[in-house]
Structure 1
Amino acid sequence: EDFKYLFVCVPTPSTSNGCDLSQVEEVIKKFDKKHIFIIRSTVTPGTAVMLMKKYDCTIVSNPEFLTESTAEDDAINPDIIVLGSSTKSIIKDIRNLFYTKKRFPNSKIIEADNKTAEMIKYAINNFYAIKVIFANYFYQICNKEGVEYEKIKETMYKRKWIGKNHLTVPYNKQFGVRGKCLPKDLIAFAKYSDNPFFNKMVEYMEEINNWEI
């Protein structure tokens, strides 16, 4: 155990009240608390603070932003790197060791407290999921009205405010919100927040995920 920093990259599946932290906790319990645990896994906001109190350890929230189809490139050339900690000196050390400008010249580094860093991950993934939900329902309306959805999609992509992802319907010959992360994170955040908007988004997601080509 001759090391200072330990990256935690384990699954956190959704549960009845948010996400399953059991594998994250197993890692923390296994190693000496002198280490600084850098959590890359997606965890509900407030997790790091709770775990630091529970285990008397130090945690930096550093959520990953990988897409399954482009995971390797996303890891090598991330557009953003989020570092969450209330201790600025720890963030500075981690930047100097792992996230140098030489290593990641094009990456924007965002510094925040732990909870904000955790919330950033959910904000981004839930925005993507909601964008997919919108696209699926809009596609359905276009089909019903005899309107060319592809032309609409390509026009929307030309708007600089929209972005060029998450509007392809169907995607990989399927409707709905797919992949390992977006459905899981939308469900987990809806349970965590108990917010009517996000609860409704989960209902919409479950509906369109049952559509057939």
Structure 2
Amino acid sequence: MRVGVLGVGHVGLVTAACMADFGHDVIGYDDDGHKIAALRAGDMPFYEPDLDRLVADNVSTGRLRFSGDAVEALSDREVVFICVGTPSREDGSPNLAYVQAAAQAVAAHARGPVVVAEKSTVPVRTGERIRQALALESQARQGTAHHEVVSNPEFLREGSAVEDTLRPDRIVVGADSTNAHEVMRRVYTPQLERHDCPYVETDVKTAELIKHASNAFLATKISFINAVARVCELTGADVETVADAMGHDPRIGRAFLNAGIGYGGSCFPKDVEAFVHIAAELGYDFGLLRETQRINREAKVWPVHQLRRLLWNLQDKEIAVLGVAFKPGTDDIRDAPALDVIDALEADGASVRLHDPVALDQVRGRFARAELYEDAREALRGAHAVVTCTEWDEYRKIEPEQLAELLAYPVVVDGRNVWDPAALEAANLRVASVGTPFSGDLGA
């Protein structure tokens, strides 16, 4: 089929590449000329495992093209995916101006009827607004084409977005007509022939809610285990064992029960905030999600509280921060907990040494007192303490004995439980790990 993708950010570029890999003729459009030029030159605008190969393979076959010309990108498409940004306003509501502009572009340039699929995360009832925008723009241009709107939310995880799109755990399509459902079935038939997964057919509003409800639930699960971690720290219990035992219950599951310093990224913070705002507009106070947000804010300040406990004053201390990206496998630093940690350290007068395998370029020049290191061990050498903010596998390969040798003071604040606390203590390190008993103040 002839597929258009509006917006080639994380969701759009992965969607475009995977749709081409399924055999569709795909044009990825973006109004950022530099991004389009980079993609045509084979340069990826962000880090995502295996995406560069998938893009290159499908560009070479001619199934995937990139354009900054809306006419070229939209004039003959059968299906158009809207994958543009929906940034938060100050009140927490999503800004849907880019979604509206995308719908207007379809109505302005499509020569025939198009199924418009919203893949950006949007509030319930956005489909109605998109229909309205399509109709108004078409009427203004005296067009006659009837475009249909569907909701087709993405459930990809940064760091495994290609795998999640090629082999998803479910496909959700919300449409309000038989024809639109039939078109989307045709879109996904090649994928379903490769990978059998549930295909959920519903109406547009239900599909829109599924996405927000899914992300909000996962964020709540993270905040729940972080609240349990606080109780474990106060009682001497071990949160890892608690989470493992909970996870054996199939009604609960082990995923997203890793205690740490909170969630970040482009989805969870924005989507939880948006869901709270949407519910409030409808007259419902979603207090559970507001508490989820509060616990997450609390988790982000935990590392600095522990450093103050162990080091007393942070003024002029050298602190190694391992990990800047909000999670492993990506260079995305949007709402990354590490940013809050670094800001707080600098506010206390500390000098920060930063390491991350892929995300250093994203923070270059952002912090006043930060020095960037390409080698994690060099960042550790001579530091008064280390804080882990992202659980990259390469950090697990640093042995506790190496930490003890490299650090000027034997202080480890393990915000992602990268290392075994007992092994750290055996190497005579003073340790604060999330959800486990603390080994005591320096000099105690």
- Please give the TM-score of this superposition, normalised by the length of structure 2: 0.45
Report how far residue 102 of structure 1 moved. Answer: 4.3
The 5 A counterparts of 1:1-213 are: 1-15=75-89, 16=91, 18-32=93-107, 34-56=113-135, 57-100=147-190, 102-170=192-260, 175-194=261-280, 195-197=285-287, 198-212=289-303, 213=415
Change (3 A) 1:104 1:116: farther
The one-letter amino acid of 1:18's match is S
Partner Cα separation in structure 2 for residue 151 and residue 135 of structure 1: 12
Report how far residue 101 of structure 1 moved. Answer: 6.2
Could you tell me whether the CA contact under 8 Å between 1:177 and 1:205 is conserved in 2?
yes
SS at match of 1:134: helix
**CA offset digits 1:167-189 (Å, max 9, x no partner):** 1122xxxx012222111100111
Report how far residue 207 of structure 1 moved. Answer: 2.8
Partner Cα separation in structure 2 for residue 149 and residue 65 of structure 1: 28
Partner Cα separation in structure 2 for residue 104 and residue 188 of structure 1: 35
The one-letter amino acid of 2:262's match is G
**Could you tell which deviates more after superposition, 126-135 or 85-94?**
85-94
Identity of aligned residues (%): 29
Partner Cα separation in structure 2 for residue 181 and residue 145 of structure 1: 33
Change (3 A) 1:86 1:159: same
Higher RCO, 1 vs 2 (CA within 8 Å, ≥6 residues apart): 1
**CA offset digits 1:24-64 (Å, max 9, x no partner):** 11111112363221111100001001221233242110000
Change (3 A) 1:68 1:102: closer
Partner Cα separation in structure 2 for residue 41 and residue 168 of structure 1: 27
Could you tell me whether the CA contact under 8 Å between 1:176 and 1:211 is conserved in 2?
no
Partner Cα separation in structure 2 for residue 168 and residue 19 of structure 1: 28
Partner Cα separation in structure 1 for residue 302 and residue 193 of structure 2: 44
The one-letter amino acid of 2:126's match is T
Report how far residue 196 of structure 1 moved. Answer: 3.9
Partner Cα separation in structure 2 for residue 122 and residue 96 of structure 1: 26
The one-letter amino acid of 1:84's match is G
Q: Give structure 1 regions of 4+ aligned residues with deviation exceeding 4 angstroms.
A: none
Change (3 A) 1:206 1:51: same
- Please give the TM-score of this superposition, normalised by the length of structure 1: 0.90
Partner Cα separation in structure 2 for residue 52 and residue 17 of structure 1: 24
Match in the other structure for 2:28: none
